[in-house]
Amino acid sequence: MMSQAATYTRMIKEEAKRLGFLFCGISRAEFLEKEAPRLEQWLREGRHGRMEYMENHFDKRLDPRLLVDGAKSVISLGLNYYTPRLQKDPQAPKISRYAYGKDYHFVIKDKLKDLLLFIRSSIGEVGGRAFVDSAPVMDKVWAGRAGLGWQGKHTNLINKQHGSFFFLAELIIDLELEYDVPVADHCGTCTRCIDACPTGAITAPYELDGSKCISYFTIELKDQLPDSVHGQFENWMFGCDICQDVCPWNRFSTPHNEPEFEPHPRLLEMTRRDWEELTEETFREVFRKSAVKRAKFTGLQRNIRFLKPRPVSGREG
């Protein structure tokens, strides 16, 4: 006879699948003992750059029970965003695939609310909170513990069947469930992501210096972009997919079926010139509900200007 925890677990995973999640795995809510010294060192070395928010709520990042009273389970979920569609003009400044459609925070939050509502209506009064990349939760660590995949040498989570083009999110609840187990690392001797990173952000296998990542420069950094990295962005104006594009496991990626992630009709058609002459009106129209709004119009303009070749200075005579 199936235990109550097993029954609840099966119900939750079936509902997560129905809501469109690619994966659902569950781990015990407890203190992340192994990660504590790693996180402390990563912050001490300044690998978070100007992302000062990473220093906040250190204890909460390591213990979900400080985020949800009496937390017993961390439900980790993955939502596919892969698309084979690319921008038509190969010379156009590039946008990471994850930002093609509607901001994933809104899309996933709605699905998480539906899942939590299902849990409460089917099981009873369950305390819990939904988290999508905007709270002190170590998504990749919990997803790894829940068996959704392993952290690759680029530090993104990789799944053997589906690659790495998926978002991560969590429900932390005060309900005892059946727990999954981590999967093995399948990176082997491959170093394609390390070799391909133009800014050297992957400083060693499984180690990322966030302050050197193209995504950090084009999204998180609000100051002037440093001259030291000019010419190293390989035409990325918002985010970067290089380490994922070269990963052999992404040959198993399949197109998402989430209508909200479809790009604005104009986005993929815009030429290099269109981007260089981008107006605030076009920016507002194309990115009305997009994650690109994080960079703001002025930030995207800054990034596009930064991609232009600098004139070579020389003396006459």
Q: Which residues are the active-site residues?
A: 133
Report helix, strand and coil shares of the chain as percent, to nearest 5. Answer: 40, 15, 45
For residue 317, the tally of other CB atoms under 10 A from its CB is 2
Kindly tell me the burial class for residue 107, based on how many C-beta atoms sit within 10 Å of its own C-beta (0-12, 13-18, 19 or more): buried
The sign of the torsion formed by the CA atoms of 136, 141, 147, 152 equals positive
Q: How many residues does the chain have?
A: 317
**What Cα–Cα distance (Å) separates residue 300 from each residue in 133, 219, 277, 283, 288?**
22, 9, 12, 9, 14
The tokens for 232 are 């190293």
Give the Cα separation of 238 and 8 in Å (integer).
41
From residue 28, alpha-carbon distances to 63, 103, 199, 290, 296 in Å are 11, 29, 37, 34, 39
